[in-house]
Amino acid sequence: MTTRAAILFAVGEDIRVENLELAEPCGGEVLVRMHAAGVCHSDWHVVTGATPHPLPVVLGHEGSGIVEAVGENVDSVSKGDHVCLNWAPSCGRCFYCTHGRPALCETYVKPLWAGTMLDGTTRFRQNGQSLFHFSGLACFSERTVVPQQCCIRIPDAVPFDVAALIGCAVTTGVGAVVNTAKVKPGSSVAVFGCGGVGLSIILGAKLVDSSVIIAVDKMPTKEGIARTAGATHFLNGTDAVARIRDLTEGRGADYVFEAIGLPAVQETAFEAVRPGGALVLAGISPVGSKTNLPGALMTRQEKTVMGSYYGTSHPRIDFLQIADHFLAKRLPIEKIIGARYSLDEINTAYHQTISGQSGRGVIIF
């Protein structure tokens, strides 16, 4: 079959939308007609080269759609199901899966980073050349074939744009609050970076009844949407540490989240944590970068530093719990959605995102 998809042919070039041949799903695979896909920085890191990846690649890893067909031995979804795509498939049998940490499952890491399906092959071709899949999903395509482990059925009542964000930003952000940090009600929270993940952290902090939620972003355009998501204060980054201490009785925040992935910001965020508090690193830093955190202060002030990958989530459980919170109006995900774009506008979508466009952009198919 033929599909139109967004392809990166070389680092630093524009993304190109072209026609590709897409093979039928093999055993254990699912054909999904995409309806929405989030404009996430993780794909942009491939464009800039911050995340090395085999090329050419069909980008996109935050998406939702409807199952159009299934291969042999698929028993988790059926034709017509609404699905949210999970970029961290798990085997259910390894050490991490059996210890409740499926997002850390290593079983499928090698083929996903190689840009292939789980069997080591690809499903996209153009003029006889194979193209790679980003994160096993390649959801910047009108149709895509994904492993059944990546498909999680969601209620039809959840809009596709909301469902797409559940697949990455929202689960990463809300999970960082609920699963990684286990933020207690009444706590003070500071969030560095108000992109999709940062805004989702704010939603999560509001969900657990944090008393003070301080959003920090150098883009003043982010203030309105940060407050809409639940922030009680907004700082533009200037003297952020001192101002966070002023807002928390001179101590610093109980929990500080870094949602950008920049070592310099991570180091500043550490300073904003009160003694006995926690820094949660939810942003993905460039491969090979290093963050310099003072070990002496970690010890003397008993500060905890935690990494949070995919919100320490169990996607098959957490996606549905987040959907339930949304449907019950406890988690207003729709409030963090910004501009909507067609697939042909994908370069515009990324340029506006990088320049500080408010809210999470979404490609609508």
Cβ atoms of 357 and 350 within 8 Å: the answer is no
Cβ atoms of 85 and 139 within 8 Å: the answer is yes
Q: Where are the domains of the chain?
A: 2-169+313-364, 172-311
Architecture per CATH, 172-311: 3-Layer(aba) Sandwich (3.40)
Which of 45, 82, 133, 314 is catalytic? The answer is: 45
pLDDT of residue 356: 80
26 counts as catalytic:
no
CA distances (Å), origin 180, targets 170, 226, 228, 272, 309: 14, 21, 24, 19, 9
Which of 35, 40, 141, 188 is catalytic? The answer is: 40
> What is the residue type of 262?
L
Which of 35, 41, 53, 61 is catalytic? The answer is: 61
Which of 168, 210, 308, 325 is catalytic? The answer is: 168
pLDDT tens string 128-171: 999 999 999 999 999 999 999 999 999 999 999 999 999 999 99
For 2-169+313-364, CATH gives 3.90.180.10
pTM: 0.95
pLDDT of residue 145: 98
Percent of the chain with pLDDT over 90: 94
DSSP letter string, 206-259: HHTT-SEEEEE-S-GGGHHHHHHHT-SEEE-STTHHHHHHHHTTTS-EEEEEE-
pLDDT of residue 129: 95
pLDDT of residue 123: 97
pLDDT of residue 136: 94
40 counts as catalytic:
yes
pLDDT of residue 285: 87
pLDDT of residue 288: 85
pLDDT of residue 354: 87
3-state secondary structure 83-145: EEECCCCCCCCCHHHHCCCHHHCCCCHHHHHCCCCCCCCCCEEECCEEEEEHHHCCCCECEEE
168 counts as catalytic:
yes
User: Which residues in the chain land under pLDDT 50?
Assistant: none
pLDDT tens string 202-261: 999 999 999 999 999 999 999 999 999 999 999 998 899 999 999 999 999 999 999 999
